[in-house]
Amino acid sequence: MTAKQVTATPAPVRWDPRLWGLLFVLSGNMLLDALEVSVVIVAMPSIGDDLNLGIAALQWTMSGFALGFGGLLLFGGRVVALLGRRRMYLIALLVFAAASLVGALADNGALLTATRFVKGFCVALTAPTGLAIIGNTFREGPARNRAMSIYSLFGASGFSLGLLLSGALTQVSWRWTFLFPVPVAIALFALGLRLIPRDKPGEDTDRRYDLAGAGTFVAAMLLLVHAIVTGPEIGWGHPRTVGAFALTALLAAGFVVIERSVPRPLVRFGVFTNRALMRSALGAAALNGAYWGFLLVCTFQLQSLLDWTPWQVGLAILPASMLLTLAAPFSGRMVGRFGAARLIALGAAAPPAGYILWLSAGTPSTYAADVLPTMLLVGLGFLLAFSPLHVQAIAGIRTAERGMASGAYQTAVQLGGAVMLALVAALLVANEAPEGASADAVSAGYRPALLLIIAAGVAGLLVALTGLFPRGRLPVSSSGERTPDGRSHDISTRAQRGA
């Protein structure tokens, strides 16, 4: 064997038990975070029956979490930077456990929604912090790559596991879907006390948290969703509805003014001049929003019209998430070989086709013919587009602003889901069939919501197609990587081909 061959052979990755334990804590919490997104989906009809909540109120169990996560993600990054990763990670785990316990015992929708919002904020603290801990603990190269693969696989598995657990536990009581994370989070906290490395909080003398910016942004998003879901009930022209939309616009404008004036904003609006980031944010918001809206429709449609149990509904939806889980370890290679923009365009075309099939079926009757094809097409869309959308979002972003750009992208993903849930719920309420109506009449009430979901999916496809014909090419650095300013970044050119 030549010296060159010896040098080219990568050294085996060997970790001591402490590193394995740390990765178990971080990955376990990532699994819990991802699971929270899906755990309430099939439980919503049972929650509504028990707490006497309609669809408009029930959608808050999903959108409340998304608003806490997406609305406070950038603020959460600032808090962690100033107060320290270890401290905030552990605090967030304890608060997550407490909010889960309160949610399991809640006797009204407002309290349940509040716990979901708090848990979303906890995830805004732990999800990016877990990545930072891995980046600072595991050595760059094979060790870090292996850790990231395991961490990502746990995250990709969380949505699917949430569907299964929720379906099984709701058979007993929907409260168990909120209660089971409590001991898990406490166990992770206990292990994290011993295993998460200590770090010093940021030594920056500028200790501004930008509470005004965070408050106006999340208040605007909460008020927007509230205005949308209450519109059908009190009337779109009612002073309360009009006033809510007007106040939302004022808060959004206030957020822009604050962020442009403070010395250390949560987001620098200049990053949005990057076309790849904007395409990714809009495309991901459409992809995720249409899917969440569809989950709301199909969950109620299957349980109310076909009298399926929560367990059966969870299993029915599973193929839509399982494809992404199975492909997670290979997503990087797919992007490197085919290019982000091509995969995104192909992926964006599949879900709308599935939603059209669902709409054309009217009242679903058989799983194989009416349900499974849609779930497979949605799953194919996420398999092809989900990871490439994130790659494209940070392509060409300067290293110093990559965290901000990634946070802005993730915020768009969550807020797209929250807003679409509100719109779909509003349409379902406005077109609800009277009690005792026929199955066909009930299905007809779902039609406007499905048309909106299809329109959102098609809009995402149109945005994706613009990425195949970019206006001009990015300068190429000396290392061959395309960046807006010619600087070299650590994203491979092949991974960005077409972005």
| Type of residue found at 177 | T
Q: Which two tokens stand for residue 299?
A: 């969950």
Cα–Cα distance for residue pair 231/241, rounded to 1 Å: 6
Cα–Cα distance for residue pair 328/242, rounded to 1 Å: 44
- Helix, strand or coil, per DSSP, at residue 482: strand
- Does residue 188 carry a pLDDT above 60? yes
pLDDT tens per residue across span 236-251: 999 999 999 999 999 9
Cα–Cα distance for residue pair 298/290, rounded to 1 Å: 12
Cα–Cα distance for residue pair 276/499, rounded to 1 Å: 6
Task: Tell me the average pLDDT of the chain.
Answer: 86
- The band of 135, judged by pLDDT with boundaries at 50, 70 and 90, is confident
The predicted structure's pLDDT at residue 179? 94
- Helix, strand or coil, per DSSP, at residue 476: strand
The model scores a pTM over 0.75: yes
Cα–Cα distance for residue pair 105/305, rounded to 1 Å: 29
Query: How far is residue 374 from each of residues 37, 154, 418, 447, 480, measured CA to CA in Å?
Result: 20, 25, 22, 16, 41
- The band of 470, judged by pLDDT with boundaries at 50, 70 and 90, is low
Query: What is the mean predicted confidence (pLDDT) over 259-287?
Result: 91
Choice between 128 and 295, residue whose per-residue pLDDT is larger: 295
- Does residue 272 carry a pLDDT above 90? no
The predicted structure's pLDDT at residue 479? 35
Choice between 199 and 256, residue whose per-residue pLDDT is larger: 256
355 and 457 Cβ atoms separated by less than 8 Å: yes
pLDDT tens per residue across span 72-109: 999 998 999 889 999 999 999 999 999 999 999 999 99
Cα–Cα distance for residue pair 215/133, rounded to 1 Å: 27
Cα–Cα distance for residue pair 89/293, rounded to 1 Å: 31
- CATH assignment of 273-499? 1.20.1250.20
For the residues of 202-231, what is the DSSP string, one character each? P--S-----HHHHHHHHHHHHHHHHHHHHH
- Does residue 441 carry a pLDDT above 80? no
List of E strands, 192-311: none
Domain ranges of the chain: 17-196, 211-265, 273-499
CATH fold for the domain made of 17-196: Growth Hormone; Chain: A; (1.20.1250)
pLDDT tens per residue across span 399-437: 778 888 888 999 999 999 999 999 999 999 988 877 766
Cα–Cα distance for residue pair 106/99, rounded to 1 Å: 10
The predicted structure's pLDDT at residue 497? 34
Cα–Cα distance for residue pair 307/350, rounded to 1 Å: 28
